[in-house]
């Protein structure tokens, strides 16, 4: 379950955020920047939830299709094409910039950090940004999104599926017992779902962003752990 864990977590938390925001999930227009391990598993998870993946790109090519791209076909193509989208013909070719600026409901940066900046933040049309990559939004862009009401699901929560699954591996090694795939998925979904609800509730009660709420919870837990461990 480790291979799919990060992308599964991104997809799961995207759906939970959409539900919390009162948005209808089927037909939700999603753009994914990055189509490696995380991007492909995220795309498949959201496709299975009836979201419409309208644009996808990687370092070699970017594609758009208003009625939705064939995600499974794209994944098969990437696996047979050396891991890239170069040469794919199932969508309209667009630029990297056009991908980020697509008119969509959810933008998911799932590749490099620092792709959303003060220079391009004003052109982002998505009302929701889901940070599958590490630090894809720089501080200036993050402040701008907060100011104009764009909801950002932060990387510290959003892409935690991978490290959570790695912890599952450690637990199984300690137990000398292997979990089945269903249990891995159930535990992953439960832990990430509970974490999301805690962040959402704190953000709502304290009137702060989801990122700030996630940091508040994290710092508070580390502080508590050091206290209990007698560390000053």
What pLDDT digit, counting tens, does each position of 161-211 carry?
A: 988 999 898 999 998 988 999 999 999 999 999 999 999 999 999 999 999
Q: Which residues contact 57 (CB under 8 A, 6 or more apart)?
A: 32, 33, 34, 35, 63, 85, 94, 96, 99
**Phi-psi category of residue 199: left, alpha or beta, with phi > 0 → left and psi -120 to 50 → alpha:** alpha
Q: Across residues 40-52, what is the average pLDDT?
A: 98
Nearest-angstrom CA–CA distance, 75 and 127: 27
- Please say whether the dihedral angle defined by the alpha carbons of residues 215, 216, 221 and 227, taken in this order, is positive or negative: positive
pLDDT class for 232, splitting at 50, 70, 90? low
* Token pair recorded at residue 196: 């999301």
User: Is 0.95 topped by the overall pTM?
Assistant: no
Contact between 32 and 80 under an 8 Å Cβ cutoff? The reply is no
> Would you say residue 224 has pLDDT above 90?
no
- Please say whether the dihedral angle defined by the alpha carbons of residues 105, 126, 219 and 114, taken in this order, is positive or negative: positive
What CA–CA distances, in Å, run from 132 to 94, 111, 171, 177, 228?
21, 8, 25, 30, 33
Identify the pLDDT of residue 221.
Answer: 86
* SS3 state of residue 149: coil
Query: Looking at the DSSP assignment, which residues form a beta bridge with residue 31?
Result: 55, 107
What does DSSP say about strands 29-33 and 151-153: parallel, antiparallel, or unpaired?
Answer: unpaired
What backbone phi and psi angles, to 5 degrees, belong to 51?
-75, 160
| Percentage of the residues of the chain whose pLDDT score is greater than 90 | 86
Burial class of residue 126 (count of CB atoms within 10 Å of its CB; 0-12, 13-18, 19+): buried
Sheet strands side by side (includes 151-153): 92-94, 62-64, 52-57, 29-33, 106-109, 128-130, 151-153
């Amino acid at each position: 379950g480790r291979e799919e864990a990060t992308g599964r977590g991104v997809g799961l938390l995207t759906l939970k955020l959409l539900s919390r925001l009162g948005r209808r999930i089927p037909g939700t227009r999603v753009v994914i920047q990055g189509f490696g391990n995380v991007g492909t598993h995220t795309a498949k998870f959201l496709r299975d939830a009836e979201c419409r993946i309208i644009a996808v790109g990687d370092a070699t090519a970017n594609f758009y299709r208003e009625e939705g791209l064939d995600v499974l076909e794209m994944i098969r193509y990437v696996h047979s094409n050396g891991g890239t989208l170069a040469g794919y013909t199932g969508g309209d070719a667009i630029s990297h910039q056009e991908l980020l600026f697509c008119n969509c409901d959810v933008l998911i940066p799932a590749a490099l950090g620092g792709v959303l900046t003060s220079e391009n933040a004003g052109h982002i049309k998505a009302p929701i940004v889901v940070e599958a990559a590490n630090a894809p939004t720089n501080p200036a862009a993050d402040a701008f999104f907060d100011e104009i009401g764009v909801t950002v699901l932060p990387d510290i929560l959003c892409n935690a599926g991978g490290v959570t699954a790695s912890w599952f591996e450690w637990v199984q090694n300690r137990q000398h017992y292997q979990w089945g795939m269903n249990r891995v998925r159930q535990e992953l979904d439960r832990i990430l779902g509970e974490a999301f609800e805690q962040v959402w509730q704190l953000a709502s009660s304290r009137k702060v962003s989801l990122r700030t709420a996630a940091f508040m919870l994290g710092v508070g837990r580390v502080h508590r752990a050091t206290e209990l461990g007698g560390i000053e």
